[in-house]
Amino acid sequence: MSALTPHLLARIEAHGPMTVADFMTEALLHPEHGYYTTRDPLGAAGDFTTAPEISQMFGELIGLALAQAWLDQGAPSPFTLAELGPGRGTLMADILRATRQVPGFHAAAKVHLAEASPTLRAKQQELVGDATWHSSIDTLPAQPLFLVANEFFDALPIRQFLRADTGWHERMITFRDGALTFALGPELPQPDLEHRLADTVPDQIVETCAPALAVCDRIGASIQTHGGVALLIDYGGWTSLGDTLQALQNHAPADPLAAPGTADLTAHVDFEALAKAAPCAHADLTPQGVFLERLGITQRAQSLASHLSGEALKSHIAAHRRLTHPQEMGNLFMVLALFPKGAPPPPGCLT
């Protein structure tokens, strides 16, 4: 039993079963025992490794893609260079290093980071330096927005619904014999899922994520009004189907209910819902490997490899493969680009 478990059991006893979304929020962000509020989850000593931590090439190419999109839209000044969920700050540091030689880019850029974890904010301060931190995207400036969100949306709290004949049972979390367990709420109509009755059958699960839709509505409205681009990079697919809630601890799958607050909790991203929520244009959903190849990652990898040998070269080759190969992150992770209607899509993305 984790330190957070008694708190959750007491809450359920007092108020009844909780939604999966409420459970995820408590497990990840509880002020004393939440996963993200108490630790640095990244790297070999943590629970997972993200693309920017695997190779500098990822952040470099993202940075140059954002810089080219900025140039394509007339090089507005000033503009917001933002990241949602920046981890240790590695991605933004690589973006800034790669774009240092782009004329006017740094002079016009104002860096803004949206981060809920005090532990990670401190690490971001060390790597990025001069930036403004936000707890919510609602406080980002009203100006052109060039934004990246890598493995941000997968950690936002989801709700789960089990299809019945004509309605939906919400999947809830309760307890039995002192342990957390899943249960089903009563069958009810869900107006927001009415359209999913046509492409599902009874006993299938559909997941929704209202916070993700709110974020995309805000980002899309800003981009449509003021200009800019957003690159949303995560694992998932075009439409939600099935139970994708998962826990990761020590780089291995874990039971999401076994020890809340000690493991990372995520779910696959419904990119169709994100695209529909954003009141701006969007590019075709693109596999990460294809996106990076279009940006020239193989040429960059060859250039870096020419200065390496031995174990460093082997590690570099493995990193390139992990980011791009279809059987690794290349097809697991997807890229959705948002941009103003009438503007060209950012490099690496097609419509």
pLDDT at 295 over 60: yes
Q: Using the predicted structure, report yes or no on whether residue 144 has a pLDDT greater than 90.
A: yes
The architecture (CATH level 2) of 5-339 comes to 3-Layer(aba) Sandwich (3.40)
Query: What pLDDT does residue 42 have?
Result: 61
In this prediction, residue 250 carries a pLDDT of: 76
Residue 73: pLDDT over 90: yes
Highest mean pLDDT among 86-90, 252-256, 276-280: 276-280
Single pTM value for the model: 0.92
**Domain boundaries of the chain, sorted by first residue:** 5-339
Residue 30: per-residue pLDDT: 82
Q: Where are the beta strands (DSSP E) in the chain?
A: 18-19, 79-84, 109-114, 132-134, 145-150, 159-163, 168-176, 179-188, 205-208, 228-237, 246-249, 252-254, 264-266, 269-270, 281-282, 286-287, 333-339
What's the mean pLDDT in 255-263?
Answer: 90
At 129, is the pLDDT very low, low, confident or very high (cuts 50, 70, 90)?
confident
Give pLDDT, residue 47: 54
pLDDT of residue 252: 83
- In this structure, of 36-45, 283-292, 328-337, the range with the lowest mean pLDDT score is 36-45
- Per-residue pLDDT band for 116 (boundaries 50, 70, 90) equals confident
